[in-house]
Amino acid sequence: MCEAKVKLKNFIYHVVENDLASGKYTLVHTRFPPEPNGYLHIGHAKSICLNFGIAKDYQGQCNLRFDDTNPLKENIEYVNAIKHDVQWLGFQWSGDVQYTSSYFDKLYEYALELIDKGLAYVDQLSTKQIRDYRGTLTCPGTNSPYRDQSPKENQVLFSRMRQNEFEEGSACLRAKIDMASPFIVMRDPVLYRIKSALHHQTGKKWCIYPTYDFSHCICDAMEGITHSLCTLEFQDNRRLYDWILKNITIEAHPRQYEFSRLNLEYVILSKRKLNVLVKEKIVESWDDPRMPTISGLRRRGYTAESIREFCSRIGVTKQDNQIQISALEACIRKDLNDRVPRVMAVIDPILVIIESLPIGYEKEIVMQNHPKRPDMGKRLVLLTREIYIDQADFREEARCQYKRLVLGKEVRLRNAFIIKANRIEKDSLGKITKIFCSHDESTFFKYFLDKKKGIGVIHWVSATCSLAAEFRLYDQLFKVKNPEGVTDFLSMLNPNSLIIRRGFVESEVLGCTIGQSFQFEREGYFCVNNCYASSPHLIFNRIVRLRDNWETKSNI
Ligand code: ATP
Ligand code: MG
């Protein structure tokens, strides 16, 4: 038991605390049971933080157990990705990785025990008939004609199922409970079904596979799990969980507790649907930076700390709700704000020529890498006669609320002097190609003047000493708040979920490594994309904008 007082973070902590205090358990043992049929997503992170977190807080144990009972949808790529993501999030499972498949022999014996006791039977109704016989919430089900076969007959049939003598879908093992139960899950649930597929762990050994409901409670009991935490949609299944453990010869009887799953605005968290996005090539891969997967968030530039912080802020309750995406963004913004260096980058460049400076002019300007952290040092930035500013920072005409560069008016260049736009040059389509300015040397670093003159500050990079870069500006994949609620979710895709821009960044970033993050001043937090090694120029992912209200700001 834990010596120090643990902060009771949610209702599950209260349950655990009581169980330890009453002496029911001396050690907390939880598990995280992913099905390796896709990559982990931010919803799984909530479950991981809860299961591993509670074990850590009480110095207990948490298993990683692959719920690998459907070989048709699973593969080893997913197994490996899941292990990596759990560790990257900062958690380590107790002992070896567990697999439901390593208990297949044991589970088979327990199925035989239920058959022996007259509590399970081999049904040969078709899948559709089983569904029709099940009844509805208002109408009780109907017994299958196979329900009263003797244990002997069921033993033979079950053994024949195992010997691959039945077609897939033509026979299954069902628990004999109550076809009139108000809980549909108790109307003779399926315990074993036939699946002719190669299994990533057991190969060709089996052609019958236990269902989640049958295997989960037994694996929990065999592993000595004390608290089996799952999401609310399994609430009714708790009856079945308890029924199975009560009716087989097994000592332990863990308890299942349910909490609400994470739903995020604008985001899909169903693995089946995420799989469609990958298969249909709507996204690049499972780790596309727009995906809500752990690997996608990592590639986007999210840190493990920020994801853990998010999970801690949203908490664990029994209330179903939808979390705003800004809650997740706030966590990464806070994390990066405290520790990444500031750099200037121009994403949508337009050339500015400061005619009042001599040709070949170069001035080294000392800039702080972080406004609040002198320990992060300083750097030298070269100011030259030709620079780039962002197209959004210039207008030919504007109202006085617009505090950037306007033709005939002044603006301060960040960490330098004030310039004034005197004339512009346009191409044949009327697009501005150059802005000709003059500068006022006496204003260098004299910020007090800005307030007096009522002018703003814009960022810039040297046109001659900067690095070309590609900027990938990501937005939500879906344009509706609840894409999970739309039948044809693919019709709700946001056409602007990725916008690519070519611009320039301070040469300071030269030598940066994949995944390294920066704050591009006034633009947002960006990180080096992992495909940049094979690209002739730098590629940055926008992790998150600087503020939530960016839209209002840029529309001034
Ligand atoms: P999906 O519907 O996306 O396939 P799943 O629940 O079938 O999800 P599993 O791999 O079985 O996926 O999930 C492993 C664990 O993660 C389960 O205990 C499940 O309850 C939990 N989990 C899955 N999605 C969420 C979510 N959105 N919020 C919280 N926990 C989740
Ligand atoms: Mg599942």
Ligand 1 contact via 69 beta carbon (within 6 Å): no
For residue 551, the model assigns a pLDDT of: 41
Answer yes or no: is 553 within a domain: no
Residue 148 token pair: 């009263």
Run of H or E including 362: strand 362-368
Contact 503, 459 (CB under 8 A): no
Closest Cα to atom 15 of ligand 1: 34
Respond yes or no: is residue 508 known to be catalytic: no
Name the 3-class secondary structure at 3. coil
Domain boundary among 404, 433, 459: 459
Answer yes or no: is 439 within a domain: yes
Ligand 1 contact via 36 beta carbon (within 6 Å): no
Closest Cα to atom 22 of ligand 1: 44
Run of H or E including 128: helix 127-133
pLDDT at 552 over 80: no
Sign of CA dihedral 171, 173, 177, 181: negative
Centroid of ligand 2 to alpha carbon of 40 (angstroms): 11
Q: Which parts of 385-496 are beta strand (E)?
A: 386-390, 394-395, 405-406, 410-413, 418-426, 432-440, 457-458, 461-462, 466-474
Residues 355 and 474 in one domain: no
Residues 444 and 361 in one domain: yes
Answer yes or no: is 355 within a domain: yes
Centroid of ligand 2 to alpha carbon of 158 (angstroms): 26
Domain coverage including residue 540: 271-341+469-544
The mean pLDDT of the chain is 95
d(CA 525, CA 59): 36
DSSP one-letter string for 283-352: SSSTT-TTS-BHHHHHHHT--HHHHHHHHHHH---S---EE-HHHHHHHHHHHHHHHSPEE-EESSEEEE
Contact 208, 197 (CB under 8 A): no
Give the domain CATH number at 373: 2.40.240.10
In DSSP terms, which residues pair with 389 in a beta bridge? 350
For residue 555, the model assigns a pLDDT of: 36
For residue 133, the model assigns a pLDDT of: 98
Per the listing, tokens 């670093």 go with 445
Per the listing, tokens 């560790």 go with 87
Residues 453 and 385 in one domain: yes
Residues 240 and 279 in one domain: no
156: amino acid identity, one letter: V
d(CA 419, CA 436): 10
For residue 193, the model assigns a pLDDT of: 97
pLDDT, tens digit, 9 for 90 and up, residues 57-89: 999 999 999 999 999 999 999 999 999 999 999
Identify the band that residue 533 occupies on the pLDDT scale cut at 50, 70 and 90: low
d(CA 130, CA 149): 17
For residue 502, the model assigns a pLDDT of: 97
d(CA 122, CA 191): 10
pLDDT, tens digit, 9 for 90 and up, residues 252-290: 999 999 999 999 999 999 999 999 999 999 999 999 999
In DSSP terms, which residues pair with 121 in a beta bridge? 174
Ligand 1 contact via 124 beta carbon (within 6 Å): no
Domain boundary among 203, 235, 259: 259
Ligand 1 contact via 47 beta carbon (within 6 Å): yes
pLDDT, tens digit, 9 for 90 and up, residues 219-255: 999 999 999 999 999 999 999 999 999 999 999 999 9
Which residues contact residue 232 at a Cβ distance below 8 angstroms, ignoring those fewer than 6 apart?
A: 258, 259, 260, 261, 318, 320
The residue from 195, 261, 273, 501 that is catalytic is 261
Atom of ligand 1 nearest to the CA of 234: 20
DSSP one-letter string for 12-28: HHHHHHHHHHTTS-SS-
Residues 442 and 518 in one domain: no
Closest Cα to atom 26 of ligand 1: 43
Give the domain CATH number at 306: 1.10.1160.10
DSSP 282: S
239 marked as binding residue = no
462 marked as binding residue = no
pLDDT, tens digit, 9 for 90 and up, residues 428-473: 999 999 999 999 999 999 999 898 889 999 999 999 999 999 999 9
pLDDT, tens digit, 9 for 90 and up, residues 91-117: 999 999 999 999 999 999 999 999 999
Please report, to the nearest 10 degrees, the dihedral formed by the alpha carbons of residues 63, 67, 71, 76 taken in order: -30
Centroid of ligand 2 to alpha carbon of 497 (angstroms): 29
Respond yes or no: is residue 204 known to be catalytic: no
Residues 172 and 281 in one domain: no
Ligand 1 contact via 230 beta carbon (within 6 Å): yes
271 marked as binding residue = yes
408: amino acid identity, one letter: G
45 marked as binding residue = yes
pLDDT, tens digit, 9 for 90 and up, residues 179-203: 999 999 999 999 999 999 999 999 9
The residue from 174, 271, 409, 420 that is catalytic is 271
For residue 176, the model assigns a pLDDT of: 98
Answer yes or no: is 377 within a domain: yes
Centroid of ligand 2 to alpha carbon of 321 (angstroms): 20
d(CA 181, CA 166): 29
Answer yes or no: is 382 within a domain: yes
For residue 554, the model assigns a pLDDT of: 39
Ligand 1 contact via 262 beta carbon (within 6 Å): yes
Greatest pairwise CA separation for the chain in angstroms: 100
Contact 406, 420 (CB under 8 A): no
Respond yes or no: is residue 271 known to be catalytic: yes
d(CA 20, CA 13): 10
Ligand 1 contact via 61 beta carbon (within 6 Å): no
For residue 529, the model assigns a pLDDT of: 87
Atom of ligand 1 nearest to the CA of 48: 16
pLDDT, tens digit, 9 for 90 and up, residues 301-355: 999 999 999 999 999 999 998 999 999 999 999 999 999 999 999 999 999 999 9
For residue 257, the model assigns a pLDDT of: 98
Atom of ligand 1 nearest to the CA of 51: 18
Centroid of ligand 2 to alpha carbon of 28 (angstroms): 23
Answer yes or no: is 287 within a domain: yes
For residue 143, the model assigns a pLDDT of: 98
DSSP 258: E
25: amino acid identity, one letter: Y
495 marked as binding residue = no
Give the domain CATH number at 83: 3.40.50.620
Domain boundary among 238, 259, 280: 259
Name the 3-class secondary structure at 490. helix
* Whole-number CA gyration radius for the chain: 31
Q: How many domains does the chain have?
A: 3
Residues 515 and 530 in one domain: yes
DSSP 511: T
Residues 495 and 406 in one domain: no
Burial degree of 4 (CB within 10 A; 0-12, 13-18, 19+): exposed
pLDDT at 3 over 80: no
Residues 25 and 170 in one domain: yes
Residues 95 and 161 in one domain: yes
Residues 253 and 288 in one domain: no
Residues 52 and 71 in one domain: yes
d(CA 68, CA 57): 28
Identify the band that residue 544 occupies on the pLDDT scale cut at 50, 70 and 90: very high
Ligand nearest to the CA of residue 44, numbered in listed order: 1
For residue 511, the model assigns a pLDDT of: 86
DSSP one-letter string for 467-520: EEEEEEEE--SBSSS-GGG-SSGGGGB-TTSEEEEEEEEEGGGTT--TT-EEEE
d(CA 127, CA 168): 10
Ligand 1 contact via 60 beta carbon (within 6 Å): no
Answer yes or no: is 464 within a domain: no
